A and B are shown apart, each in its own frame.
Chain A
């Protein structure tokens, strides 16, 4: 058992996959940005390599980069993989960017079965289509829901099931108060 630091993990991955970039977030969080096409290969390498042995997928989530303070402005959906190794007790973050219009990412459920539910959730709330997922259905919202609510350009439905979204006398005045800042 030997826990590796992020740099060592990044070096090991980049030696095998030169297209993988190291990315530092505003809050100092280090992550590996993986090209969409090679995510399954990278995942397989991370899981099976004896030095890395990421045998657990702790989380699979996403965020919308629209309105994200960056130059040039972007509008990708970023899928985040949080990996943990129970063998070596180290962890790493992977990020995969998918275009807003054609939002599809290969599934990693072949590597970690835990991804089956996570990917359904990300599909439901962000509209990321995971190619190869055996049963990509909505999991949080009702089956007949329209749109993907956590996208930043999502418009609230006026009614659902014949029930108005706002009560009598309620109306949207302005943008909801947000504390601002990335994420």
Chain B
């Protein structure tokens, strides 16, 4: 079923409230403060996404150090069994409405550690509900931004009184090197005489 057709989510059911709700969702969509934490190399890409080249602040996203003030948890990196319960605690400390993005193979499924490591959790979705999965090891910042755009579609459909859309969304097309359909910046040829 299309999520926007779920009971309570159809905008023509509620005339006045749906307009207000739409406006509230617009605010939420443009002001996704993300929780500032990273556990592995995906975190480097996450930091890069906040830097001058990619600048997620354009989308109204700034990092917050405390879960109480964050809307979005980007699980960036390998989560071990020991860390998983802490991630769960952080998620519980976040205030509703809250969203979770699983960034990179480790957070999605355990990645390279999924089978032959005794300590790595095989996917953060075993502990917290994930809205968007971003494949890649690690995903480039473009892929992260693509995932955020996918999440924003979901936030736009969020209705305070409606049923929450919980179907996991997987951002496709980033399995290829340098993130699938994302345009790789052309830096030109490397200078002569260098490896």
Q: Report if A and B touch in the complex (beta carbons < 8 A).
A: yes
Closest CB of chain B to A104's CB: distance in Å?
Answer: 24
- Report Cα–Cα, A154/B123, bound state, in Å: 23
Closest CB of chain B to A130's CB: distance in Å?
Answer: 22
Please tell me if A170 contacts chain B, counting CB pairs below 8 Å.
yes
Closest CB of chain B to A164's CB: distance in Å?
Answer: 8
Partner of A167, one of B81, B122, B127: B122
Smallest Cβ-Cβ distance to A150: which chain B residue: B118
Instruction: Give per-residue flags for B106-142: 1 if the beta carbon is below 8 A from chain A beta carbons, else 0.
Output: 0001100011101101110011000000000000000
- With a cutoff of 8 Å between Cβ atoms, the chain A residues found around residue B123 in the complex are 167
CB-based contact B84/A161 at 8 Å: yes
- Report Cα–Cα, A89/B58, bound state, in Å: 54
Instruction: Give per-residue flags for A33-58: 1 if the beta carbon is below 8 A from chain B beta carbons, else 0.
Output: 00000000000000000000000000
CB-based contact A142/B81 at 8 Å: yes
- With a cutoff of 8 Å between Cβ atoms, the chain A residues found around residue B84 in the complex are 161, 163
Please tell me if B82 contacts chain A, counting CB pairs below 8 Å.
yes
Given known A-B contacts A163-B121, A163-B126, A170 and B81 have beta carbons under 8 A apart:
no
Please tell me if A160 contacts chain B, counting CB pairs below 8 Å.
yes
Please tell me if B166 contacts chain A, counting CB pairs below 8 Å.
no
Closest CB of chain B to A10's CB: distance in Å?
Answer: 38
Please tell me if B85 contacts chain A, counting CB pairs below 8 Å.
yes
- Report Cα–Cα, A170/B118, bound state, in Å: 14
CB-based contact B118/A154 at 8 Å: yes
- Report Cα–Cα, A141/B121, bound state, in Å: 12
Partner of A166, one of B82, B85, B122: B122
- With a cutoff of 8 Å between Cβ atoms, the chain A residues found around residue B121 in the complex are 163
Smallest Cβ-Cβ distance to A157: which chain B residue: B118
Instruction: Give per-residue flags for A148-177: 1 if the beta carbon is below 8 A from chain B beta carbons, else 0.
Output: 010000101100110111110010100010
CB-based contact A176/B116 at 8 Å: yes
CB-based contact B119/A166 at 8 Å: no
Closest CB of chain B to A167's CB: distance in Å?
Answer: 5
CB-based contact A160/B81 at 8 Å: yes
Smallest Cβ-Cβ distance to A178: which chain B residue: B116
Partner of A163, one of B81, B109, B114, B116: B81
Closest CB of chain B to A173's CB: distance in Å?
Answer: 10
- With a cutoff of 8 Å between Cβ atoms, the chain A residues found around residue B110 in the complex are 167
CB-based contact B114/A170 at 8 Å: yes
- With a cutoff of 8 Å between Cβ atoms, the chain B residues found around residue A164 in the complex are 122
Smallest Cβ-Cβ distance to A175: which chain B residue: B116
CB-based contact A161/B81 at 8 Å: yes
Instruction: Give per-residue flags for A111-147: 1 if the beta carbon is below 8 A from chain B beta carbons, else 0.
Output: 0000000000000000000000000000011100000
- With a cutoff of 8 Å between Cβ atoms, the chain A residues found around residue B115 in the complex are 166, 170, 172, 176
Residues of B within 8 A of A (CB): 81-82, 84-85, 109-110, 114-116, 118-119, 121-123, 126-127
Q: A141-B119, A154-B118 are in contact. List 12 more A-B contacts (CB 8 A).
A: A141-B82, A142-B81, A149-B118, A161-B85, A163-B81, A163-B121, A163-B127, A164-B122, A165-B118, A165-B122, A166-B115, A170-B114
Sorted from nearest, which 4 A-B pairs have the closest CB atoms?
A163-B126, A142-B82, A149-B118, A176-B116
* 13 chain-A/chain-B pairs, Cβ below 8 angstroms: A141-B81, A157-B118, A161-B84, A161-B85, A163-B121, A165-B118, A165-B122, A166-B115, A167-B110, A167-B122, A170-B114, A170-B122, A176-B116
